[in-house]
Amino acid sequence: MSDCPLSISQVIDPSTSRAEQITFLEKLHRWVVTVDHKHLGILYILYSTFFLLVAGAEALMIRIQLAYPHNHVLSAQVYNRFFTMHGTTMVFLVGMPFLFGFANYIVPLQIGARDMAFPRLNAFSFWLTAFGGFLLYYSFLGGAGLYGVGNAPDVGWFAYAPLTARSFSPGHATDYWALALIVSGFGTLGTAINIIATVISMRCKGMTLMRMPLFTWLLLIVSMLTLVTITPLTAAQFMLLIDRYLGGHFFDTQAGGSSLIWIHFFWIFGHPEVYVLVLPAFAIANEIIPVFCRKAIFGYPAMVAASVTIMFVSLSVWAHHMFTVGMTSVSNAFFTLSTMLVGVPTGIKIFNWIATLWGGRIRFTTTMLFCIGFLFQFLIAGLTGIMLSVSPWDWQLHNSYFVIAHFHYVLVGAVVFCIFAGIYYWYSKATGRLMNETLGKWHFWLFAIGFHITFDTMHCLGLLGMPRSIYTYQPDRGWSFLNLVVSVGGLIQGIAVLIFAYNFIVSYWRGEVAGDDPWDAWTLEWTTSSPPPVYNFEEEPEVHSRRPLWDLKHPDDPDWEYES
Amino acid sequence: MQTLRAQRLIHRGSATAWFLLTSSMLIAQGATPSTLAPASTPAHQIFDLSVFVVAITGGIFLIVGGLLALTLYRFRARKTDPLGEPAQIYGSTQIELAWTVIPILIVVVLFLTTARIIFAIQDAPKPHTALDVTVIGHQFWWEFRYPKYAVITANELHIPVSSDAAPEATFLKLTSADVNHSFWIPQLAGKTDLIANHVNTMWMDPKKPGLYLGQCAQFCGSQHAMMLLRVYVDTPEQFDAWMKNQQRAAPRDSTVEAGRTVFEKQACMNCHTISGTAATGRFGPDLTHLMSRATLASGAMDNSPANLRQWIKSPDTFKRGALMPAMQLTDEQLNQVTAYLETLK
C-alpha cells in the first residue's frame, strides 16, 4: 500500500507536500470512507478474490477427502460444513461481488459518467456485503451446529427445509447462514438499484440505449433480474428465522408446514441467480471478443434482444430443479419446455460470437484465451443443460455428479473464465500496468487443463450413479479411480490460481506500464488515463456510435454511418 | 443431399454418444449403480431417450464446436496481414433469423420426444397385481412396509422379478418421517424424493434377478453418505420364501434369554420393534429379522457379529451422527444382547 498509485491524494494533486506526508493509516482511512466508484469497484474485486481463495481451499479439502473411498481426512460433519460453505461463498461472496466490482468500475466509465448515481448508497452496499461475508465466516467461531460438534453452516447451500428446522439443526449455524445472506442480500439490492439508476440517468451526450456498450446493457439487465431474484430468497430466510425463533410453521413439516414451499422459494431465487452470474460473464466476453478479433460485435440488436429474452425466460424455469419432488406430469412437461427454450436466445449469442470472430484477426492474448475457453465450455454447459432439462433423464441425473459437473461448467467454465478474462483486460485500466503475459498463459493453460480433468470426469461419475453431498463412498462402486482423477484436476486448478494470485500482486509494482489504451479498444473507458482521475473525464464525452474510439481512430470510416 | 448430410450427422452424433457412454461403462465394473446399465422399464425408457438426446446435442456440439475451432484457426492474426483493420460487418438479418429458427425446431423435436416419455413413465397405469411397498425415509435409514403382507423391514428392499410371462411391477409410495431424502436405484428407475407431509409414487419392474445398489440422493444431514440402499430382485420362489420368513414372529431361543432381557430392560426397545416381544419402538429399524439382512446401519458395514457388537457399543465408530446412542452396556451385556440379536434370523 505504501506507494499506491490509486490513492486519492495523488490523483487530486500529487505535487503538494501534504500528499506526500499522509500516513499509511490515513490512506487506509480513505479507502474505508471512499465513495468513488472506482475504489469501491477495486474493493469489491479484492474482497471477492480473497473469498475465491478461501472457497477454493475448501474445494481442495473436499477433493482431498474424496480422492479415496473411505478417506478420513475430514469427518462427515466437517465435510458437510465445507461443501455448504464452498457453495455459499462462491455464489454470494465471490460470484456476485466480482461482477458488481466490474460493474462499479466499468459502467460509469463506459457511459461517460463521473460516478454512480448514488455514491453513498454504493459505499453502504459494499460494506453491507462485506459485513455479510465476514458474519458468515464468523460462524466458524461463533455458532454450534448439528450434534454440538459443527459450527459453520452444514445444511447445504440450498438449505432445504426441514433440515434447517431447529429440531434438525440445533445451535446457530443455520442462523448465521440466513442472517449473513440477508445482510449481504440488502447490499446486493442497493448496488442493483444503483446500477439501474446510473445506466438510466447518467449516460453522456449521444449515448442512446442502443448505443450503449453491451457490457453496460447486460449489467443493466442483471441488475433488474437481481431485484426480482434476491427478494424471494431474503423473504424465505426471514420466514426461516420466524420458524426457528418466533414459532412460525412455514417450513416445519412436524407442524403441518411444507418443505416444498422452501424449495420453490429457493429456486425462484436460485435459477435466475444462475443468470445473474452468467450474464455478466457474457457482458465481459462481449467487450473482449470484438477488441481481440478487431471487428464490431455481430448483430448488436439481436444480442440485446437475446439478453432481455433470457432475463424473462429465466424467471419461468425454476422448477427444473424440482423434477424429482413429485410434480404432476404436466408441470414436468411445462418446465422441460421452458428450460429448453432458454437454449434459443443462448444459442443466438454463441452464433453471434462466432460470427464476430469470422473474418477477424484474432490475437491470442491471455485475456482472449480465457474468452475462447469460455466459448467452448459454455457451449458444452448449454448442451448438458439441455440434457438436464429432459425431465425423465433428470430423474436420473438430478443431485448426481453430472449436475455438479454441469453447473461447474457454467460457474467455472463460463463465469470464472470470464472473470479472469476481465481481470487481465481491465487490470491495466485500474492500475496503469499490464499483468504478465507469460504467467498469464501458464495460468490459462494449467487452469483449463485442470478444469477439464476435473469436470469432464465428473460427468462420468454422475452417469455411474454417484450422488452429490456425500463425504465418502464405498470402494465397490467403481468410482474410486475417477474420483482420484477429479481430485488431481482440482489440484492443478489450485496451482493455476496461485500463479494468478502471484501475477495479480506482483504486476502491480513490476508490470509493464500500460498507457491509456493498451488493447487498441473502442469504448469510452479507454479514452481516459490509466488509472482514471477521480473525476473520470475532464469534460463530458459525446458519442455518435457504439464504438466512440473507433470513430476517433477512423474519422474517414466512422461507425455511425453503418449502425442501424 | 441435405437429408443425407443430416442423417450422416445424426449417425456420427450417435456414434460419439455411444463411444462416450460405453467408455464410461468400461471404466466402471462390478457393483456400480450405473445409469447406463438399465434393468427395468422406466430405466430403459430413460436410457433410450438419453441416447437420442446425446445424439442431437452431440451433433450440435460437433457442428458448432467445429465451426468455432475452424474460425479460430482460419482467422488467427498473422504477420502477413495487411495493415489496418479487417472489414467490419455489423450483422445480417437473414443469417440471424436462420440461427433463431433452427434451434426452435430442434427444441420442438426434443420437447415432444421428452413429453412422450414423461407421460409414459409418470402416468403409467398401475396393474392390479402390482406389489405395493411404502418407503419411509428416516435420518439415515430406510423403512419398507409391505401393507398387504403386514411386513415391515429396513434398508434392504426385496421385490419380485418381472418376466414377459409373469409381469410384476412394484409400486412405491414414498414419504419421510423427518427431513427430505431421495430414493435412487439408478439401474431400476430415476430418483424420487421422500418428503414429510407429501406422498410421492414411483414404480419399477426389474427384468433380471440380482442385487441392485443405490443410496439416498438428497442431502439429509451428517450421515447422508451412509444412507445406502440395497434392492434384491428375487425370483418368484425366492421372494415367496423371503416373504414367508418375514411374516413369522421373531424366533424364540431360550439360550439367549439373558440378551433378550437386556434388550427389553435397557432403552433398546424404546426405538426398535421385535415382533412377538414387548419391543414395539418405531424410531429405529425393525429388528425382527435382522439376520436376514446383509448389512447393518443402512449399509454402513457388513452384518457380522463383531460389527454388530461394536455398533451397539459405539455407533460413532461406523457412523458418527447416526441417531442411535451408545447404550453404555457392560461387556457382558454387550455379548448377551449381540448373541440375542444373532438369533433373529
Give the CA angle between residues A124, A127, A129 to the nearest 5°.
110
> Has residue A148 got a pLDDT over 70?
no
What span, in angstroms and rounded, lies between the C-alpha atoms of B207 and B129? Answer: 16
pLDDT at A158: 95
**Which CATH superfamily does the domain covering B254-342 fall into?**
Cupredoxins -  blue copper proteins (2.60.40.420)
What span, in angstroms and rounded, lies between the C-alpha atoms of A219 and A110? Answer: 12
CATH 2.60.40.420 domain locations along chain B = 131-247, 254-342
Closest partner residue to A163 among B75, B87, B179, by Cβ? B179
pLDDT at B19: 55
Interchain CB distance below 8 Å, B195 and A259: yes
Closest partner residue to B111 among A146, A336, A397, by Cβ? A336
CB B255 within 8 A of CB B318: no
Closest partner residue to B179 among A162, A258, A375, by Cβ? A162
**Who contacts B146 (Cβ-Cβ below 8 Å, separation ≥6)?**
B131, B132, B133, B152, B153, B243, B246
Q: What are the grid coordinates assigned to A545, written together?
A: 456510435
Closest partner residue to B121 among A348, A380, A392, by Cβ? A392
Q: How confident is the model at residue A11 (pLDDT cuts 50, 70, 90)?
A: low
Check if A176 contacts B (Cβ < 8 Å). Answer: no
Alpha-carbon distances, residue B319 vs A66, A70, B179 (angstroms): 17, 12, 18
Check if A529 contacts B (Cβ < 8 Å). Answer: no
- B-chain residues near A362 (CB < 8 A): 72, 75-77
Average pLDDT for A512-538: 93
B172 - beta bridge partners?
Answer: B133, B202
Q: Please identify which residue in the block is written with the cell numbers 459437473.
A: A405
Q: Which amino acid is at A439?
A: L
Asked if residue A69 has a cis previous peptide bond (ω within 30° of 0), the answer is: no
- Which residue segment(s) compose the domain that A230 sits in? 34-561
Q: How confident is the model at residue A19 (pLDDT cuts 50, 70, 90)?
A: low
Interchain CB distance below 8 Å, B50 and A340: no
pLDDT at A151: 79
pLDDT at A170: 85
Interchain CB distance below 8 Å, B75 and A478: no
Tell whether A28 is covered by a domain.
no
B67, B182, B193, B228, best to mutate vs chain A, most A CBs in 10 Å: B193
What span, in angstroms and rounded, lies between the C-alpha atoms of B342 and B337? Answer: 8
Task: Please give chain B's pLDDT, 345 residues, in tens.
Answer: 444 554 554 555 555 555 555 555 544 446 899 999 999 999 999 999 999 999 999 999 999 999 999 999 999 999 888 888 999 999 999 999 999 999 999 999 999 999 999 999 999 999 999 999 999 999 999 999 999 999 999 999 999 999 988 899 999 999 999 999 999 999 999 999 999 999 999 999 999 999 999 999 999 999 999 999 999 999 999 999 999 999 999 988 899 999 999 999 998 999 999 999 999 999 999 999 999 999 999 999 999 999 999 999 999 999 999 999 998 999 999 999 999 999 999
- A-chain residues near B22 (CB < 8 A): none
Domain of residue A362, CATH code: 1.20.210.10
Other Cβ atoms closer than 10 A to A131: 15
**Who contacts A145 (Cβ-Cβ below 8 Å, separation ≥6)?**
A77, A81, A151, A152, A153, A154, A169, A170, A171, A173, A174
Does this model's pTM top 0.90? yes
Count of the separate structural domains present in chain A: 1
Tell whether A6 is covered by a domain.
no
| Closest among B214, B155, B138 to A396, alpha carbons compared | B214
Q: What are the grid coordinates assigned to A335, written together?
A: 418446465
Q: What is the largest CA-CA distance in chain B?
A: 100
CB B335 within 8 A of CB B309: yes
Q: What are the grid coordinates assigned to B4, written together?
A: 443425407
Tell whether A58 is covered by a domain.
yes
Tell whether A288 is covered by a domain.
yes
- A-chain residues near B135 (CB < 8 A): none
Q: How far apart are the first and last CA of chain A?
A: 48
Return the CATH number of B2-27+34-76+90-122, one of 1.10.287, 3.40.50, 1.10.860, 3.20.20. 1.10.287
Interchain CB distance below 8 Å, B191 and A399: yes
CATH 3.30.70.1280 is right for the domain spanning B131-247: no
The HSE-up count of residue A360 (CA atoms within 13 Å, CB side) is 25
Tell whether A16 is covered by a domain.
no
pLDDT at A93: 96
Average pLDDT for A298-317: 95
B21, B44, B90, best to mutate vs chain A, most A CBs in 10 Å: B90
CB A132 within 8 A of CB A184: yes
Mind listing the pLDDT tens digit for each residue in A273-300? 999 999 999 999 999 999 999 999 999 9
Average pLDDT for A359-372: 96
Interchain CB distance below 8 Å, A478 and B222: no
Tell whether A189 is covered by a domain.
yes
Closest partner residue to A464 among B34, B76, B222, by Cβ? B34
Tell whether A164 is covered by a domain.
yes
What span, in angstroms and rounded, lies between the C-alpha atoms of B224 and A471? Answer: 8
pLDDT at B1: 42
Q: Which amino acid is at A359?
A: G
Nearest CA in chain B to A472: B225
Mind listing the pLDDT tens digit for each residue in A152-162? 889 999 999 99
A391, A472, A479, A519, best to mutate vs chain B, most B CBs in 10 Å: A391
CA A75 to chain centre: 30
Mind listing the pLDDT tens digit for each residue in A32-46? 999 999 999 999 999
Helices A417-431 and A366-389: crossing angle in degrees, nearest 10, is 150
CB B195 within 8 A of CB A327: no
Closest partner residue to B75 among A360, A479, A562, by Cβ? A360
Average pLDDT for A143-164: 78
Interchain CB distance below 8 Å, B24 and A464: yes
Query: What does pLDDT average to over chain A?
Result: 92
- A-chain residues near B321 (CB < 8 A): 76-77, 146-147
Interchain CB distance below 8 Å, A362 and B193: no
CB B142 within 8 A of CB B229: yes
Q: How confident is the model at residue A122 (pLDDT cuts 50, 70, 90)?
A: very high
Among A residues 290-329, those touching chain B with beta carbons less than 8 Å apart = 293-296, 298-302, 324-326, 328-329
Q: What are the grid coordinates assigned to A51, written together?
A: 473469498
CA A225 to chain centre: 14
Q: Which helix (DSSP H) or strand (DSSP E) does residue B151 occupy?
A: strand B151-154
Q: What's the gap in Å between the CA of B33 and the closest CA on chain A?
A: 5
Interchain CB distance below 8 Å, A398 and B217: yes
Nearest CA in chain B to A560: B90
Mind listing the pLDDT tens digit for each residue in A174-218? 999 999 999 999 999 999 999 999 999 999 999 999 999 999 999
